[in-house]
Amino acid sequence: MKKILFTATILLVSNVMIAQSEVTQEELREHIEFLSSDKNAGRFPGTKANKRVVKYIIKSFKKAGIEAYGKSYKQEFQAKIRVKKGEAPKPEATTWNVIGYIEGNDPVLKDEFIILGAHYDHLGMGGPSSKSDHEGIHNGADDNASGTAALLEIGERIAANKHLLKRSVLLLAFGAEEQGLLGSKNFTENPVVPLSQVKLMVNMDMVGRLNNENHVYMGGAGTFPGGVELMKNLGEPLGLTVFAHPGSIGGSDHVSFYKKDISVMGIHTGGHPQYHTTEDTVDLINFPGQEKVCNYIYSALMKVATTDYKMEFIRQD
């Protein structure tokens, strides 16, 4: 009888890749180094780097066995580019959201969706949102290569454990967030699933700089039943101190979903002086900390997606 050899990373069975079951610092680093590289020049909408990053995300989804929802992973849209006051308007840029799909197994609950999202774009060489006093590549390692890397790693871990899912999961990599949440606005105006079936949207924006006190911050934890208590309790086994605000919805892509009466959480590890500057680089990422944050977010998502956890929208305005 032939022995079947396998590792804890990737199985190759009948030429089919099976997803890795754990988040690893090595893959987080690989993703962030690619996304925030000088070659990708700040991941600005409408550029060759934008297309390169989209291909990378799709390739990562495929490698993990994460399917497209429908015929394509890509949702194309036109992004209006911000300009400085008094500057002539720029042409709209073609960019994309990237959508991955992991189907749930419950005959009823699989028609409900949990969305895990992160924006992959950044500021390019700067522009009106830059806080640098000079032009240069805004690599955006924390903002938001960290969130995109987390999306890929957590998505891979979900795919490896998809047999546990009751609800279905959509993985959304948003384009043009820095131009005014345009990717998430486009998705909520042109959803691939009815928004009434989306029960929770979890957004990751700047999750790579966990501090020495292990602080994790989030807004919107009170937009679904028991959210604040759930998020605080899940942090304790990982040694995280969780600041779970019931409201404080914030200014990233989850806002677009909240405006559609969908429960949300926007998760981050805090601000820093390198935000929106040329100094937000990979050498400042706390990879052991990010691994911990990814496992925390995975635990929260699976708590909702693998059970009949009661979900309903609670407005916090």
User: Which CATH number does the domain housing residue 274 bear?
Assistant: 3.40.630.10
Instruction: Tell me the residue length of the chain.
Output: 317
Q: Is 74 helix (H, G, I), strand (E, B) or coil?
A: strand
Rounded distance between C-alpha atoms, residue 44 and residue 121, angstroms: 6
One-letter amino acid at 140 equals G
Q: In sequence order, which residues have a C-beta less than 8 Å from that of residue 151 and are 6 or more positions away?
A: 116, 117, 118, 171, 172, 173, 204
Which token pair is 86? Answer: 């008094």
List, edge to edge, every strand of the sheet that includes 93-102: 74-79, 93-102, 168-174, 113-119, 198-204, 264-268, 215-219, 241-245
Q: Are 297 and 210 in contact (CB under 8 A)?
A: no
Q: Are 217 and 270 in contact (CB under 8 A)?
A: yes
Rounded distance between C-alpha atoms, residue 167 and residue 110, angstroms: 4
C-alpha dist (Å) from residue 153 to 116, 173, 179, 184, 297: 12, 13, 26, 21, 11
Looking from the CA of 130 toward its CB, the CA atoms found within 13 Å total 23
Residue 8 lies in a domain: no
- Write out pLDDT tens, residues 30-44: 999 999 999 999 999
Q: In sequence order, which residues have a C-beta less than 8 Å from that of residue 96 and are 6 or more positions away?
A: 50, 54, 74, 75, 76, 77, 175
- The segments of the chain whose pLDDT lies below 70 read 1-20
Residue 147 lies in a domain: yes
Q: In sequence order, which residues have a C-beta less than 8 Å from that of residue 200 and are 6 or more positions away?
A: 114, 115, 224, 262, 263, 264, 265, 304, 311
Q: Are 59 and 143 in contact (CB under 8 A)?
A: no
Residue 160 lies in a domain: yes
Residue 316 lies in a domain: no
Q: What is the pLDDT of residue 317?
A: 73
Q: Please give the residue range of the domain that contains residue 240.
A: 25-196+207-306
Residue 201 lies in a domain: no
Residue 35 lies in a domain: yes
Q: What is the pLDDT of residue 19?
A: 60
Q: Which residues pair with 12 in a beta bridge?
A: 17
Residue 5 lies in a domain: no
Tally of domains within the chain:
1
Rounded distance between C-alpha atoms, residue 64 and residue 114, angstroms: 18
User: First vs last Cα of the chain: how many Å apart?
Assistant: 64
Question: Which of 174, 212, 32, 19 lies closest to 97 in space, CA to CA?
Answer: 174
Q: What is the pLDDT of residue 20?
A: 67
Which run of H or of E encompasses 49? Answer: helix 48-63
Residue 267 lies in a domain: yes
